[in-house]
Amino acid sequence: MQTLPGPSRLEPRVLGGAALAAVIFFALVTGAVQVLRGDLDWLRAPLSFYLLGNYGGLVRVAYFGLGAALALLGAGYYRALAVPARSGAPLLLFVVAGLALGVTASTDSGPDTDRASLAALVHGLAASAAFLCITVAMMLQAVRLRRDSEWRRRFGVAFPLAAVSFIAMWVHALWRDAPRGLTQKLVIVLILAWLVLMAWWLQRHRRDARHAVTAAVPTESLP
């Protein structure tokens, strides 16, 4: 006789709601500082420049909150999907991305920072790791939706948006002549849009425990 999963203290809907709040907080804070910081040109200044100076402490808090949101979202979808549709890879990448965001927020990188300093090197590597891990995790998580009959319909929106974010990240990395602040923030907007959408779906989702084990889409039914 198959044992059905019992109730969880941290339901996926709770994790989704917490992640959604943290992502929205990050978007509001970082959006506001673009207006409040008249000393920086938002088209050319990367978001990391706003970690120093006025409102820098608030931006750091928003970074840490977003890092936590990534882990919460990964854990939420791991628990929400049918058991055969789960994968630890997206969750692991989201956790690594969250840690990288914490390192990014904790190291100085402003317009007056020595680009050759250890802090600047660590900051740059952490920021690059965060972007890469987030966008790859987004695509992997979207793919896992296809293996769950209750979530499969979300794939058609989740995966294209994740793929566009991944491509935009590489355009930002390789197109060095473009305004660095503008291209980076376009990537961030795409990522935040995906995170908000996925967190919104998660916090509204209810799964009957009787279907938690059997709701996976058979592999042979996938194109």
Tokens 């990288």 found at: 100
Q: What is the DSSP string of 91-152?
A: HHHHHHHHHHHHHHHHS---TTS-TTSHHHHHHHHHHHHHHHHHHHHHHHHHHHHTTBTTTG
Residue 6 to residue 35: CA distance in whole angstroms? 48
User: For the chain, how long is the longest CA-to-CA vector?
Assistant: 67
The pLDDT score that the predictor gives to residue 2 is 40
Tokens 């890469």: give the residue: 132
pLDDT band at 118 (very low <50, low <70, confident <90, very high): confident
Helix axes 155-174, 180-204, angle to 10 degrees: 160
Between CA 59 and CA 217 the distance in angstroms is 42
Cβ contacts of 26 within 8 Å, gap of 6 or more = 62, 63, 65, 66, 69, 192
pLDDT in tens, 192-207: 999 999 999 999 887 6
pLDDT tens for 25-62 read 999 999 999 999 988 999 999 999 999 889 999 999 99
Q: What is the mean pLDDT of residues 107-121?
A: 72
Question: Is pLDDT at 18 greater than 50 in this prediction?
Answer: yes
Cα separation, 48 vs 34, in Å, equals 12
Q: What is the pTM of this model?
A: 0.87
Q: Which of 29, 36, 60, 9 is nearest to 192 (CA)?
A: 29
Q: Which pLDDT tens digit goes with each residue over 75-89?
A: 999 999 999 999 999
Closest CA to 8 of 87, 102, 80, 91: 80
